[in-house]
Structure 1
Amino acid sequence: MAAAALKLSPYSDPRQQCFQTEFKPTKGRTFLSSRNPLLPLPKPHRYSFKCCCLPSSSSSSTNSITPFQYYSFLDEPFRGSRVLTNEELEKLKALESFVYLQELESGSLWVRVMRTEDLDLTVRLLALSFAESMFMSLQYETLLRFFVNQYLLERRASMPHAVTLVGFYREQGGKRGEELAGTVEVCFDKRGATASPPTPTAPNSSPYICNMTVTKELRRRGIGWHLLKASEELISRMTSSKEVYLHCRMIDEAPFNMYIKAGYNVIQTDGVLILLTLQRRKYLMCKKLPVSNSFPESCISESGEEINV
């Protein structure tokens, strides 16, 4: 009996994971992809930087974010036997040291690259959000987790050309401790581009943000906004290209407004024929990032009114 292979083609939505689905008969199970405290690195390098976005009014309370322990992606089994160039090694070290910190009104948020111990939580979040966006029964969650897990492992093998970021949140005065607040995927170049990108198709040689989702109980706190800003900060340090692309479904008004506020412009729109494939029409949006030769040592706060997502 033919098995059903789930084809996942991601695009960006700061409130929920938005995989496109396509069921195809196959002869076997295959996965078809589309696209705690941290110590500083012992030795700086040209890609090393701090990404601290803490308001000037933040205080050293018990809920303040502390540095993280040093972590090496070179020790992870996902790399396989692929030999990295010197440039790739430098970029991988930059990903190890990357952390984006932000004090929100309701608590603290920090964003870093997903590690091995984060995989199960991230898979669960994406599977639940995917089921929600597609109005699927939670009885399919186990199957969804399997495919999402395979997808994330495949994408991690492309590091440092693409990366999955995870955001952790600690509520002020809360006793629950830190919890996974959201995730987002960032593709930096052609080697990190997905195999079957959604339409309208973005240039595969340009940075691309996708698969953004926020934990349902933590939405409307600005977490989606800061996942987006963390992605842009990392892109500005990891690539020379300053044009970044993302997709937004036409029905998602709040994310669309957030992207417009963040400086993204619609450059192409899905045609109506895409509806025949049971997919939502999408905008392809693009933003030119400002040129930044070095990240400022002082902490920077976000200016202007923030859209809560």
Structure 2
Amino acid sequence: MATTVSLSISLDTQPHHRRRHQPHHLCNTTIHFSSHQSPFFTPKHRHPQHPSIKFPKHPHHNFTLSLSPSSSTSTSSSTLQNPLRTGRFLTNEELEKLENLEKYNYHQELQSGLLLVRVMREEEMDMTVTLLAESFAESMMMAKGYVKLLEFLVRNYLIERRAMMPHSATLLGIYRENGEEDFELAGTVEVCFDKRGANTNPPTPTPPKNSPYICNMAVRRPLRRRGIGWHLLKAGEELISQMSSSREVYLHCRVIDEAPFNMYTKAGYSIVKTDSLLTLLTFQRRRHLMRKEFPIPNYASEMDNPDE
């Protein structure tokens, strides 16, 4: 069996809805598993004080998460143990970046409900594995019997990627339907911030390893076409702008995926390179490598209008 599996997943492409946040964003549609690579939001008064997040009913899995913030301390070592842990020694600079990942949150009120985006915790890995494996199987039209094998591959991949924090991060989209009390997992996206967080064997065309990269986005089927994919993209872009000094970001999009391509184009991405027709001989879908350049912050304008 090949050690690397990659694909592109069609995502929600509805960028409308009211925004509470002003992030940069980006959605990546390439799921890449490699065997060689290796906060929290406090709800406002209109939300339950400590709402639970429930993974939708599934024949094999039943998960529950908590949105309640962890008890905080002033030491950096506590940050490693709760809630983000990497399992390796971190420098002081990496510890600071890990704290920034822990504190990151993005929230957006959609027409149909409330979306929260934050970094995946270790105890949330199982539900993320299920979401990615089922999305992969659906995209590739694979039999359900392969989902368990995919879950094994995805779990190993996510464990290795967690060890790369704070050079990369997996974000979760947590959603609550209007009129409901419970939150549920809606989607996920992975962001890489620098060369140390880059995949060892990325899909082709190969993106620059020293540039931020977005990949492995998936939205649950019942929750698509609500703007969730668009805001996962926006949250990823915003986090990249906070964690990296680079002014550009890359992602892949399959040539056959017209809807995601249109979304990326609307978000400011343009094609850098496209796989040749010879790629079809390897039984892989052709992909576009797309790039977006972030605008340079207008510090002079901010200085002139500090109260705006």
Question: If the length of structure 1 is used for normalisation, what is the TM-score?
Answer: 0.77
Q: How far apart, in 2, do the equivalents of 1:214 and 1:33 lie?
A: 26
Q: Per the alignment, do residues 94 and 134 of structure 1 end up closer, same or farther by CA in structure 2, a change over 3 Å counting?
A: same
**Which of 221, 240, 263 is equivalent to 2:268?**
263
After the TM superposition, which residues 203-282 of structure 1 pair with which residues of structure 2 at under 5 Å, given as runs?
A: 203-282=208-287
Q: Describe the SS at the equivalent of 2:174.
A: strand
Could you list the per-position Cα deviations for residues 95-126 of structure 1 after superposition, in whole angstroms to 9, with x for gaps in the alignment?
00000000000000000000012111100000
Shift of 1:170: 0.1
Contact 1:129 1:213 in 2 (8 A): yes
Q: What is residue 113 of structure 2 aligned with on the other side?
A: 107
**Which of 142, 150, 153 is equivalent to 1:144?**
150
Contact 2:38 2:157 in 1 (8 A): no
Q: Describe the SS at the equivalent of 2:111.
A: coil
Contact 1:158 1:191 in 2 (8 A): yes
Q: How far apart, in 2, do the equivalents of 1:111 and 1:64 lie?
A: 18
Q: How far apart, in 1, do the equivalents of 2:10 and 2:93 lie?
A: 31
Could you list the per-position Cα deviations for residues 130-173 of structure 1 after superposition, in whole angstroms to 9, with x for gaps in the alignment?
10111111111111111100000000000000110000000001
Shift of 1:63: 7.9
Q: Describe the SS at the equivalent of 1:79.
A: coil
State whether structure 2 residue 124 is matched by structure 1 residue 118: yes
Q: What is residue 27 of structure 1 aligned with on the other side?
A: none
State whether structure 2 residue 203 is matched by structure 1 residue 198: yes
Shift of 1:17: 6.4
State whether structure 2 residue 175 is matched by structure 1 residue 172: no
Shift of 1:7: 2.0
Contact 1:168 1:179 in 2 (8 A): yes
Q: How far apart, in 2, do the equivalents of 1:117 and 1:227 lie?
A: 21
State whether structure 2 residue 127 is matched by structure 1 residue 130: no
Q: How far apart, in 2, do the equivalents of 1:156 and 1:251 lie?
A: 31
Could you list the per-position Cα deviations for residues 256-305 of structure 1 after superposition, in whole angstroms to 9, with x for gaps in the alignment?
000000000111111000000111111110001123489x9xxxxxxxxx
**Which of 7, 15, 25 is equivalent to 2:4?**
7
Q: Per the alignment, do residues 68 and 38 of structure 1 end up closer, same or farther by CA in structure 2, a change over 3 Å counting?
A: farther
Aligned residue type for 1:246: L
Q: Percent identity?
A: 57
Q: Describe the SS at the equivalent of 2:152.
A: helix
Q: Decide which moves more: 251-260 or 284-293.
A: 284-293
Aligned residue type for 2:131: L
Q: How far apart, in 1, do the equivalents of 2:195 and 2:40 lie?
A: 33
Could you list the per-position Cα deviations for residues 216-274 of structure 1 after superposition, in whole angstroms to 9, with x for gaps in the alignment?
11000000000000000000010000100000001111100000000001111110000
State whether structure 2 residue 69 is matched by structure 1 residue 69: yes
Shift of 1:92: 0.3
Q: Describe the SS at the equivalent of 2:165.
A: coil
State whether structure 2 residue 44 is matched by structure 1 residue 38: no
Q: Per the alignment, do residues 73 and 272 of structure 1 end up closer, same or farther by CA in structure 2, a change over 3 Å counting?
A: farther
Please, what is the CA RMSD of the aligned residues? 2.9
Contact 1:12 1:209 in 2 (8 A): no
Shift of 1:83: 2.0
Q: How far apart, in 2, do the equivalents of 1:282 and 1:201 lie?
A: 10
Contact 2:38 2:160 in 1 (8 A): no
Shift of 1:32: 1.8
Q: Per the alignment, do residues 14 and 35 of structure 1 end up closer, same or farther by CA in structure 2, a change over 3 Å counting?
A: farther
Q: What is residue 79 of structure 1 aligned with on the other side?
A: 86
Contact 1:104 1:222 in 2 (8 A): yes
Q: Describe the SS at the equivalent of 1:38.
A: coil
Shift of 1:5: 5.2
Contact 1:65 1:110 in 2 (8 A): no
Question: If the length of structure 2 is used for normalisation, what is the TM-score?
Answer: 0.77
Aligned residue type for 1:113: V
**Which of 73, 87, 95 is equivalent to 1:89?**
95
> How many residues end up aligned between the 2 structures?
263
Q: Per the alignment, do residues 69 and 227 of structure 1 end up closer, same or farther by CA in structure 2, a change over 3 Å counting?
A: same
Which gives a bigger RCO, structure 1 or 2 (Cα 8 Å, sep 6+)? 2
